[in-house]
Amino acid sequence: MHKAPAHKARKRFGQHFLSDQTIIEKIINIINPQKHDHIIEIGPGKGALTIPIIKSVNKLNVIEIDKDLVNFLKKTIDSELLVIHENDALKFNYSKLNHSDLRIIGNLPYNISTPLLFHLLSYKNLIKEMLFMLQKEVVERICAKCGTKQYGRLSVTLQYYCNVESLLVIKPDAFNPSPKIDSAIIKIVPLVQPRYKLNSDESFKIIVREAFSQRRKTIRNGLKNYLNEDEIEKIGIPLNERAENLHIKDFVKLSNLYYQLQNN
């Protein structure tokens, strides 16, 4: 390991570096890296997680957007086991790593967490598990149950395709600079066999997005450009229900109906 020049945290890249060694150890225990794991770390930063992980694995891929941090890592971690991709995790082609059992981890930059989760879902068949630190509020939204205030597009989409579990809340003082809000670690495991049969991912995406685009609207109004009242009633969904009270199974039914009507 060599000494690298000090790095000033960049707001635009959501840089809050983990500095609490006890918390870092707890996170490493949760990740529990194994020799043959195909781990990709998003946003390695100054290596708070990267350095301990690399001690346990045969190879570690990391994706970092900040050129200065890429140079910092190259100077600090002198290891052939580390493969640094200077790239945007939102645009990265995860299939180019040629593995179908990826473990994707990271203390994610909060400003890109939602689009990144949707981007990663398009690679779900290649992903065994994701362990991310996110804003606590986003973790709560992902894990929210039907009928709650937090239940929305993120909950329905992620819970349809994956098992999700909130693992640990982390306070702002574990980071430097400290964020203003609490963070939490979430485990997201893509399902090999989703719970309900969906005819089209694209129809599901449209129906879930539209149904939640105006939360206060009833399904009848929220989906009026996509499905008419008779069609919705025929599959047993009350027209006056709001999206936040519909179960994942209902969204699957609505999406399959929409797909069927589009393709008839």
CB of 27 to ligand SAM, least distance (A): 8
Name residue, tokens 């490493």.
28
Parallel, antiparallel or unpaired: strands 183-190 and 127-135: antiparallel
- Minimum Å distance from CB 185 to ligand SAM? 11
6 touches 176 (CB < 8 A): no
Interacting residues with ligand SAM (CB under 6 A): 13-18, 42-46, 48-49, 63-66, 69, 88-90, 107, 109, 112
Q: Closer to ligand SAM at the Cβ: 17 or 196? A: 17
Q: What is the spatial distance between Cα 206 and Cα 218, in angstroms, rounded to a whole number?
A: 16
Q: Give the shortest CB-80-to-ligand SAM separation in angstroms.
A: 21
CB-nearest residue to ligand SAM: 43
Q: Which two tokens stand for residue 165?
A: 């579990």
Nearer to ligand SAM, 123 or 196 (CB): 123
CB-nearer residue toward ligand SAM: 18 or 31: 18
In whole angstroms, the minimum distance from the beta carbon of 43 to ligand SAM comes to 2
- Report the residue number, 70 or 243, with the smaller CB distance to ligand SAM: 70
* Identity of the residue, 10 or 149, whose beta carbon is nearer to ligand SAM in the bound complex: 10
